[in-house]
Amino acid sequence: MAARVLDGIKIRDEIFAELKGEIARLAGEGIRPGLAAVLVGENPASQLYVKSKIAACERLGLASWMHTPPASISTDQMLRLVQDLNHDNAVDGILIQLPLPSQVDTKRVLEAVDPAKDVDGFHPANLGRLVSGRPGLIACTPAGCMEILRRNGIASEGANAVVLGRSDIVGKPMALLLMHANATVTVCHSKTRDLPGMVRRADIVVAAMGKAGYVQADWIRPGAAVIDVGTNKVTDAKEAESLLRNFPARLQKFREKGSLLVGDVHPDAVNTAGALTPVPGGVGPMTITMLMSNTVKAARLRRGKASSTPGAAQSSAGAR
Ligand code: NAP
């Protein structure tokens, strides 16, 4: 039987509807949450991402600002811009679109962001809060994965969860969130022995490796829930044919377009998993959604108000 599709677009729409209510309540208190995005240089992919984030702000009625310094900007100039945004009271969230040019010290810039405005959840202070289960701003992609599980009634408590990847922005925070939700978590990486064996034990698999179709369908325990974070662009015809051998309609689309987006999990897993996020349309829409949620949450928390935004309770080990 084909896996249940865990539709990120449907959940995005649900959360946007909830956020609209929260934003209207804040408006009643004279507060309009605002996001400042910093887009350095002219990387087309980054331009597209920032454009979608600003469009989401506009859709929800949040204030937004876009700063577009040239690719030649220095670390000191970036630090000054971040300080200005830290001091601007209209700005609740600061988003530094990555990657930054090589001459800019990315870590220093990210650490200069006021943790209270760190809507990407990348600041060490927010990561520390997540480790210790205290309220803070949580990285958007893992927070979005948790919303997908929660809103589809997939229980984390007692589940064996396997996270593939240990990056600071996805794998590590994901593992912490699952642990706080009382899953038993195994984190795998490029040095893990017997990856298929690890995956076979999992009730919940979160794949965040950046390897197109790497996780084979027969690694997935029948009925397991699979959250596929990977977003990989495939342009090679042979690779596309091997990935989509059982999906003629998608293969035809690839032939027309010359490229396709696939996750880290082989598309054939739709026949073994119990539930699966599609790529595209699964985790992707949730990342921007949680950025919006974090901006509203930051607007409340900065003013000492309790937050009721989606995902607000996750870092405080709500399930314990
Ligand atoms: P990353 O920083 O490159 O980390 C990749 C992780 O995967 C590393 O921990 C690496 O292990 C591990 N890995 C690589 N090859 C492996 C293998 N063969 N077996 C086991 N582990 C392996 O990537 P990331 O930023 O976390 O992103 C991961 C993927 O998610 C990418 O495709 C990215 O585009 C996607 N992504 C999507 C969204 C979204 O909104 N949908 C958001 C963020 C990221 P080591 O640590 O040992 O090197």
Arithmetic mean of pLDDT, 53-70: 98
Residue 184 lies in a domain: yes
pLDDT of residue 240: 97
Q: Hey, what are 58's tokens?
A: 């506009």
Which residue range forms the structural domain that includes residue 230?
A: 140-284
Dihedral sign computed on CA atoms, order 43, 44, 49, 54: positive
Rounded CA-CA distance 278/226 in Å is 10
Q: Hey, what are 161's tokens?
A: 């969860």
Rounded CA-CA distance 66/50 in Å is 8
Same domain, 61 and 151: no
* CATH code of residue 113: 3.40.50.10860
- For residue range 149-169, list pLDDT tens digits in order: 999 999 999 999 999 999 999
Instruction: For residue 86, count CB atoms less than 10 angstroms from its CB and return exposed for 0-12, middle for 13-18, buried for 19 or more.
Output: middle
- For residue range 90-116, list pLDDT tens digits in order: 999 999 999 999 999 999 999 999 999
Residue 263 lies in a domain: yes
Q: Kindly give the distance from the C-alpha atom of residue 91 to the centroid of ligand 1, in angstroms, as a whole number.
A: 31
Same domain, 280 and 210: yes
Same domain, 124 and 173: no
Same domain, 151 and 90: no
pTM of structure: 0.95
Closest atom of ligand 1 to 210 CA is 32
Same domain, 103 and 47: yes
For residue 55, pLDDT over 90 is answered with yes
Peptide bond just before 285 cis, omega within 30 deg? no
Of 152, 97, 130, the closest CA to residue 286 belongs to 152
Residue 247 lies in a domain: yes
- Residue 261 in contact with ligand 1 by CB distance below 6 A: no
Of 315, 316, 288, the closest CA to residue 60 belongs to 288
For residue 5, pLDDT over 80 is answered with yes
Q: Kindly give the distance from the C-alpha atom of residue 66 to the centroid of ligand 1, in angstroms, as a whole number.
A: 28
Same domain, 119 and 212: no
Domains in the chain, number: 2
Same domain, 195 and 132: no
Q: How confident is the model at residue 307 (pLDDT cuts 50, 70, 90)?
A: low
- Residue 188 in contact with ligand 1 by CB distance below 6 A: yes
Residue 316 lies in a domain: no
For residue 204, pLDDT over 80 is answered with yes
Task: Check: CB of residue 175 under 8 Å from CB of residue 160.
Answer: no
